[in-house]
Amino acid sequence: MNPINPAPAFRELRDKAGAKLRRLKDGKTVIMVGAATCGRAAGALDVLRAFRDEVKKHNLDCPVIEVGCLGHCYAEPLVIIGKPGWPPVAYGYVNPVIAERLVNEFILGDNPCPEFVLAALAPNDLLPSFQDFPRARYERKIILQNCGLIDPSDINDSIANGGYSALAKALALPPQKIIAEIQKSGLRGRGGAGFPAGQKWQACRDAQGTPKYLICNADEGDPGAFVDRALLESDPHGIIEGMLIAGYAAGADRGYIYVRAEYPLAVERLQIALRQAEDYHLIGSHILGTDYSLEITLFQGSGAFVCGEETALIASLAGQPGLPRYRPPYPAVKGLFGQPTVVNNVKTLAYVPRIMANGADWFRGIGAADSPGTAVFALAGKIVNTGMVEVPMGTTLRRIIYDVGSGIPKGKKFKAVQIGGPSGGCLPESALDLPVDFDSLQNAGAIMGSGGMVVCDEDDCMVEMARYFLEFTRRESCGKCTFCRLGTRQMLEILTDFTLGQGKLADLAILEKLAGEVGAGSLCALGRTAPNPILTTLRYFRNEYEEHITLGRCPALMCRHLIAYYILPDKCERSCDACVGACTVEAISPDKKRIKVIDPEKCVKCGTCLPACPPQYNAIVKLSPPSEVPCK
Amino acid sequence: MPGPDILAATEQILSAFTPERPNLIPILQAVQGKLGYLPRSAMQAIAGYLRIAPVDVYGVVTFYNQFRLNPPGKHSVKVCLGTACHMKGGYIALDAWQRRLGISPRQTTPDREFDLDTVACVGCCTMAPVTVVDGKPEARVDPTRVDGILLSFGREPPAKDQK
Amino acid sequence: MKTVTLTIDGKVIKARAGEKLLWAALENGIYIPNLCAIREREEPDASCRLCWVEVEGQSDPVPACAIGVQEGMAVSTKGEKALALARAAFELLMASHALDCAHCQANGRCELQKIAKVLKCSLKPKRLRLLLRDLPVDDSSPLFSYDPNKCVLCGRCVWECRKHREKAIMGFAHRGFERRLTTFADEPIGADRCLDCSECVKVCPTGALTLK
């Protein structure tokens, strides 16, 4: 146990932070603009500027704060206005014009502009609130609690919202007690495999050798996953606090955050957060006046998906190419520079302060027996409410997709849900009632992975989906071991032939066998899981493969070599030229009767003409195989 | 940039690091940050400083996507090929970029104005398909939007047939 | 020195405690196909994926180069599962190997030929398609030539070259299917840096590096 009680030092920090924040916010109107990367892509920085300009113009004493992601990414840019006398209100799809109106009508006047309101943050009599949304019933925010609601570049905001209080509590305990608590909580690693976090810490603590290292794995490379990015951008102090507790428990002397260089905003916010935490003596030597010291270094990954694998990540930190090595020995025993090393995923670390603050029993009370806690998913693809959701483990896929995500847009039919990225699989309609937890997903052929959940509708081709993922793993294979280096390429060749309509039925058997061999024979998890997208699509959507091979037809009308665009002559309106103007390669021209015709030689099948054709005519269709197009 | 300047810039960066192998990647990032790419002479200087074989520096440089061996163009266009982007037509956007710029991924236009590249996933899946232009993620990029972005850089799309 | 007793394919052998299974087998005249294994290496590379064996009590085959011997261990090199994986790996290698035994200097002493015989596989891949890289042969060194199309990326030559520390010229570069044995900036071996020790040629298991 630490001979020095961390509580007084923490109390002092908390009082100071509270006072600073009160000076900034109390009795004032506050504008919070969601400016995580996805908000920025939707124009959040223009909105931010518009608010600042307007506030300045009217000389208002009203802070405009950049916050992170609230999870309602479909409605970006998203803004929250807190005005004394009103519940805090969130506005969606905000643009600079709306920003100006909100300042003039709501902040200066008393009109909350209900037409732009997404929801109020608390139940009230005037405006609908998030609690009225169906998803509110199924969501349970633990690690996303602060996201989008606090200023990620102000440590005071974090501390005033409970940040670092769990650290103060933990540092008063002996490390062994923390490990025991985490083990009791049943916390499993959120990076993919679901290994018990406490067990890893214990192994590192027990291992011989100093120094010991703690690494936060923020190399989120799964295409389709963005939870780690959103967490780092929205609540970086939550992750740092988790690292400090984990490091203390595991006996680490030095910490690293390995973050992708493709996440520049996350890097920037982490840098700010680390500097502030250092200023507050929360990292470095003698944390909160105790004997515990931990330096934390930020390391930027250079773009290699394989570095999400822990031994490859460690090689990369040591200045080597990111090549995985044979395990055992596991990093907890022999890791960075040959020393005992704990590697934990961002999300795993984010749970740690919550568990320390609320206790293991509280955590165990949420979720499923063998997978306690919550699951955080990045919902993307063909789903109405794209964004980040946190639900208790054990929630069914159907609930997540239809109740939390509000189902499939444009009245389309659900086809599959892809979970776990290139290591995961595509699950069909029949799997929708599966409870989401580590083990059920694995049994169905998918994995929890890093929480990417991409929904596919009837327009998505499952063969193309498998080809896409194999192209990804082929590109990202490090090339060290035979199976992954050469096997992924062989499988990609076969799949590419299928999407070109050049496959043979015999290839299907070769592909299936090869997939099994690459899965069994590869050196690391990247290669071992690379066949999953193939195996699940073969298991659940074999008929689509067969149609590609035997009929040269893509049933989803997605594979470009197997489709053609065609303008139905009897539906095409002579006076309308919408498609002609829309076509970016000038492949469409009117014939003598002013009926539009597509030149198949010029058409690049980009599909821009399809939405351009006015709905009252609806004259453009996709046909597969291309030979379906009638000859003149 | 002529040779002596490359070496001077590299040496200035090297002086901020201790000569230890784990610093290799941060050094490469810093040199590329300064010069825009990793010239041969810079890689040799780095190897000399860290007392490692130049081929080892080359091995690291060619392993990671971030590093480039040729000077970059003025503007960078990176098309996201994440799952969500792919499903919503990221490959169509990439095609459109290739068509308009006349180059393939990892190439630079002959006038050195544009670089075209792909990126595995920038985590903006809800804004799919995304293209990152000069570091700024652009949402919902279809072929028409490609022309719009290029227009904002003063590049007219090929003239339409005169009717 | 502490020794342990184990059986491989029914034959009782003794091995130094802590020894890897592969070396224990080879020392006792039991051949297990392998390409990337290097005795001096502290940590096995385990990358060629050929040395699969089955250990009693374990459901899946394991690479013999990475597993330590244990007292009482019962090992089979002829198990169906192990052979299937070894054959699959070998076929993948051969599908990307420029096969030309008749004109190859290594003909007769080539380890690929030996492995094909032991695994009872054809040198020519049957079900997989040929995926050759078609890289130029480097004839620039006065002593030896390097044909990257015959290289299996075992890394034995890199290990030898590495003994020259920062004067080493050979290493792996690029990634994935493009990964290859090469030099700084892919320049010709004979350019100037090579110390001409030709140790790399001696350890090459195929015809990729051959004396002139």
Residue A97 C-alpha from the chain's centroid: 30
Q: What is the pLDDT of residue B163?
A: 36
Mutate to test the interface with B, among C157, C161, C165, C166 (most CBs of B within 10 A): C166
- Residue A239: φ, ψ to 5°: -75, -45
User: For residue C191, is pLDDT > 90?
Assistant: no
Confidence of residue A278 (pLDDT cuts 50, 70, 90): very high
Residues 58-77 of B with CB under 8 A from A: 59-60, 63-67
Please judge whether C93 and A477 are an interchain contact, meaning their C-beta atoms are less than 8 angstroms apart.
no
**CB contact (8 A) between residue B53 and residue C183:** no
Q: Interior CA angle at A140 toward A135 and A143, to 5°? A: 125
Asked if the Cβ–Cβ distance from C66 to A476 is below 8 Å, we say: no
- Nearest by CB to A326, from C48, C66, C93: name it: C66
Give the pLDDT confidence score for residue A303 in this predicted structure.
87
Show residues of chain A in contact with C47, CB under 8 Å.
480-482, 523
- B148 lies within 8 A of chain A by CB: no
Looking at residue A27, what is its pLDDT? 85
Residue pair C188/C169 in contact by the 8 Å Cβ criterion: no
Subunits with 3+ C-beta pairs closer than 8 A to C: A, B
Q: State how far residue A480 is from chain B, nearest Cα, in angstroms.
A: 11
> Which of B63, B125, B136 is facing A304, going by the closest CB pair?
B63
Interacting residues of A138 by C-beta distance below 8 A, sequence separation 6+: A391, A395, A399, A400, A403, A404
Q: Give me the numbers of helices (H) and strands (E) for chain B, helices first please.
A: 7, 5
Question: Between C49, C96, C172, which is nearest A483 by CB?
Answer: C49
CB A298 within 8 A of CB A267: yes
Over residues B30-41, the mean pLDDT reads 96
> Closest residue of A to B67, CA-based?
A302
Say if residues B27 and B38 touch (Cβ distance below 8 Å).
no
User: Which residue of A475, A480, A521 is in closest CB contact with C85?
Assistant: A521
Residue B160 has pLDDT above 60, yes or no: no
Radius of gyration of chain B (CA): 19
Q: Is the pLDDT of residue C97 over 60?
A: yes
The residue in chain B having the minimum alpha-carbon distance to the alpha carbon of residue A580 is: B160
B105 at the A interface (CB within 8 A)? Answer: no
Q: Which residue of C has its CA nearest to A520?
A: C85
Report chain C residues whose CB lies below 8 A from the CB of A470: none
What pTM, to 2 d.p., does this model score? 0.94
Q: Residue A296: what residue type?
A: I
> Rounded to a whole number, what is the distance in Å from the CA of B27 to chain A's nearest CA?
10
Q: Which of residues 56-95 of C touch A (CB under 8 A)?
A: 60-61, 63, 66, 84-85, 88-89, 92-93, 95
Mean pLDDT of all residues in A31-54: 94
Contact B85, A224 (CB under 8 A): no
Query: Is B62–C175 a contact, with Cβ atoms under 8 angstroms apart?
Result: yes
pLDDT at A358 over 50: yes
Token pair, residue B4, equals: 């002596």
Q: What is the structure's pLDDT at A454? A: 92
Q: How far is C27 from chain B (nearest CA, A)?
A: 34
Q: Model confidence over C99-137: pLDDT tens digits?
A: 999 999 999 999 999 999 999 999 999 999 999 999 999
CA gap A311, A336 in Å, rounded: 9
Which of B20, B51, B55 should we substitute to test contact with C (largest number of C Cβ atoms within 10 Å)?
A: B55
The identity of residue C138, as a single letter, is D
Report chain A's mean pLDDT, rounded to a whole number: 94
| pLDDT digit string, tens, across residues A140-187 | 999 999 999 999 999 999 999 999 999 999 999 999 999 999 999 999
Q: Which residues of A touch B95 (CB under 8 A)?
A: 604, 606
Confidence of residue B161 (pLDDT cuts 50, 70, 90): very low
pLDDT, tens only, A87-100: 999 999 999 999 99
Are B53 and C182 an interchain contact pair (Cβ–Cβ within 8 Å)? Answer: no
Q: Which of A250-259, A399-408, B112-121 has the lowest mean pLDDT?
A: B112-121
User: Closest Cα of chain B to A464: distance in Å?
Assistant: 10
Mean pLDDT computed over A478-494: 98
What secondary structure does DSSP assign to A130-164, as a single string? GGGSHHHHH---SSSTTTTTS-TT-HHHHHHTTTT
Closest residue on chain A to B120 (Cα): A223
Q: Which tens digits make up the pLDDT trace of C145-168?
A: 999 999 999 999 999 999 999 999
pLDDT beyond 90 at C200 = yes
Report whether pLDDT(A235) > 50: yes
The strand ranges marked E within A485-576 are: 564-567
Nearest CA in chain B to C180: B59
Q: Of A50-59, A243-252, A448-457, A567-576, where does mean pLDDT reach its minimum?
A: A448-457
- Asked whether the predicted pLDDT for residue A392 surpasses 80, the reply is yes
Whether the CB of C96 is below 8 Å from some CB of chain A: the reply is: yes
Confidence bin at A1 (pLDDT 50/70/90): low
A475, A517, A521 member nearest C176 (Cβ): A475
Tell me how far apart the alpha carbons of residues C181 and C140 are, in angstroms, rounded to a whole number. Answer: 15
Q: Which of A480, A482, A493 sits opposite C89 (nearest CB)?
A: A482
Partner B contacted by C172 (CB < 8 A): yes
Which two three-digit tokens encode residue C147? 């044909």
Contact assignment for B124 to A304 by CB distance below 8 Å: no
Residues of A in contact with C95 (CB under 8 A): 486, 490
Residue C159 distance to chain B (closest CA, Å): 13
In Å, how far is B63's CA from the nearest CA of chain C? 5
Q: Which residues of A291-329 are buried (b: 16+ CB within 10 A; e: fewer)?
A: ebebebebbbbbbbbbbbbbbbbbbbbebbbbbbbbbee
Tell me whether C174 touches chain B (CB under 8 Å): yes
- Do residues A412 and A458 touch, judged by C-beta distance below 8 A? yes
Predicted confidence band of residue B162 (pLDDT cuts 50, 70, 90): very low
pLDDT digits over A126-145, tens only? 899 999 888 888 999 999 99
- Note the pLDDT of residue A376: 95
Residues of C in Cβ contact (< 8 Å) with A325: 43, 46
How many angstroms away from the CA of A249 is the closest CA of chain C?
Answer: 29
List chain C residues with CB under 8 Å of A514.
Answer: 88, 128
Q: Is C173 helix (H, G, I), strand (E, B) or coil?
A: strand
Q: Does the beta-carbon distance from A517 to C85 stay under 8 Å?
A: yes
| Closest chain C residue to the Cα of B58, Cα to Cα | C184
Quick one: pLDDT band at residue B159, thresholds 50, 70, 90? low
Chain C residues with CB-CB distance to A481 below 8 A:
46-49
Cβ A380–B95 below 8 Å, yes or no?
no
Q: If you measure CA to CA, which chain B residue comes closest to A315?
A: B22
Looking at the complex, report in whole angstroms how far the Cα of residue B144 sits from the nearest Cα belonging to chain C.
35
C63 backbone dihedrals φ, ψ, rounded to 5°: -75, 125
Count Cβ atoms within 10 A of the Cβ of residue A573 and give its class: 0-12 exposed, 13-18 middle, 19 or more buried: middle
pLDDT of residue A102: 97
Residues in chain C closer than 8 A to A326 (CB atoms):
43-44, 46, 63, 66
Q: In this complex, is the C-beta atom of B103 within 8 Å of any C-beta atom belonging to chain A? A: no
Q: Residues B50-100: pLDDT tens digits?
A: 999 999 999 999 999 999 999 999 999 999 998 889 988 999 999 999 999
Q: Which chains touch B (3 or more CB pairs under 8 A)?
A: A, C
d(CA B153, CA A34): 28
Q: How far is B71 from chain C (nearest CA, A)?
A: 16
Strand, coil or helix: what is A412?
A: coil
Alpha-carbon distance of B83 to A472, in angstroms, equals 10
Q: What pLDDT is stored for residue B2 in this prediction? A: 54
The answer to whether residue C1 scores a pLDDT higher than 80 is no
B contacts of A230 (beta carbons < 8 Å): 123
Tokens of residue A208, six digits: 């011989």
Structure-block tokens of residue A53 = 């300009």
Contact B65 A302 (CB under 8 A): yes
Q: What is the pLDDT of residues A288-299, one digit of tens each?
A: 999 999 999 999
Q: Is residue B156 a contact partner of residue A621, using CB atoms and an 8 Å limit?
A: no
Is A492's pLDDT higher than 50? yes
Q: What is the 3-state secondary structure (H, E, C) of A2-53?
A: CCCCCHHHHHHHHHHHHHHHHHHHCCCCEEEEECCHHHHHCCHHHHHHHHHH
- The confidence score (pLDDT) of residue B4 equals 76
